[in-house]
Amino acid sequence: MLDLNLESRAATLNARYRNHAAVQVLRHALADPDLGRVALVSSFGAESVVLLHMLSVASPDTAVLFIDTEMLFPETLDYQRTIAERLPLTDIRIIRPDAGAVAAADPDGTLHRRDTDACCDVRKVVPLERALSGFDAWITGRKRFQGGQRTALEFFEPEAPSRLRVNPLAHWRPQDVAEYMDENALPRHPLVAKGYPSIGCAPCTSPVRAGEDPRSGRWRGSEKTECGIHFIGGKIVRGPVPVETSPAEAMPAVARTAGPMPSDAVRVDAARPSDAVRADAAPPGTVAPAAETPADAAPSADQPESQPMTEMPTATIVALPDAPVLVRDDGFHPVAGEPTVSLPPDTDPASLGQYLNAELIAVEFPAMTDGRGFSLARLLRELGFAGRIRATGGLIADQYAMARRVGIDEVQISAALARRQPEPQWLARADWRDWDHRSRLAG
């Protein structure tokens, strides 16, 4: 049974994940019983692909709600189709406004000129509220750097009367978004190159000039700054959120279970086989939280699936600025030892037998989304290889547990990545010990 006090639930979750990075917040939010059933709401806008990609790796079957207001740019609709085809998301729901409500409120399509709030309400707020009726929480891509009411964003927010909002990217900076897109070769929204850093409906979105706030092109010339879906009840609410619910109104928490699909929703099933994206390999982009929660702070004692940092061994070795390091269970180490062979991800499994007497084998990961190296490592162990396996290339901290589970002993990372993802972030992935390859092979 979910705690009915929204403020209490949000405070508990913020304390629980205060020292976590974006990927961890997203991954745990999808399974935390204090959130219940969760959906991601995406505009498929300028930066939406980051969160969509993270979700496609962490939990591709999670519901994604896309509100087609029927006034979006054609480029946005094309981009939505491109992303749906590119990422292995299996439950994309296209939500459209009720035709009768639109005909009554905006018969000639000019309501946005007279009353932008009313237009947003009939085309976006009401349809989304209806689509979210079966969920206990929803994930957004909002960030503090976007300004306005977003500058004080927390990871978890109460939304009366009975939902929570999750903002995994709340502490990200613009450069973090750009780096994530570059590292994962994600397609950009075509309007970004034309000066649109924030993209909404076509009639109410204009290009942004150099030096302007990224959202200054939304409803330009008016005091409006939000469409309404990110307010509580369509209005900005400050202070505690009043909650008037009864136990009878509470809904059971079923982690990662899709809610009912409204009658006006169109499901887009974009599932397809992919050897480039793994559901058990979380993406990069884990960045330091804001100043009040430094990235090297220890996770809270109740961090799921990880033992407290105070119980973990610490390492005093610090990599030189331009030197790669090896990540092992006790921390960072200088790179030592030359592999007998370095296996690319397309190595023929039938050829692995010739390497079983080697002391050290390197398994290459050209990109973090390329999971074939995990399969190679597992096959080596199943064939009886007893030496050391070193992962090289594109792995990041959230993939360390997976690497250890399949029999990889150490991960070689660049100095730049070691600075972005310091030792505590790697050591926090300690849950592999109960599921390592030896235990799995032993049954």
| Active centre residues (catalytic) | 227
Please compute Rg for the chain using Cα positions. 23
Give me the residue label for tokens 């629980």.
16
In 3D space, the residue among 93, 184, 94, 168 whose CA is nearest the CA of residue 368 turns out to be 184
d(CA 391, CA 372): 12
Q: Which residues contact 333 (CB under 8 A, 6 or more apart)?
A: 315, 317, 325, 326, 327, 410
Are 61 and 270 in contact by the 8 Å Cβ rule? The answer is no
Tell me the two tokens of residue 264.
């006006």
Q: Which of 153, 187, 221 is nearest to 76 (CA)?
A: 187
Q: Amino acid letter at 154?
A: E
End-to-end CA distance of the chain: 34
Residue 294 neighbours by CB under 8 Å, 6+ apart: 288
Query: Which segments of 257-337 does DSSP mark as H helices, in order?
Result: none
| Angle of CA points 335, 341, 346, to nearest 5° | 110
What H or E segment, with its residue span, contains residue 325? strand 325-328
Residue with tokens 């136990």: 247
Contact indicator for 412, 381 with CB cutoff of 8 Å: no
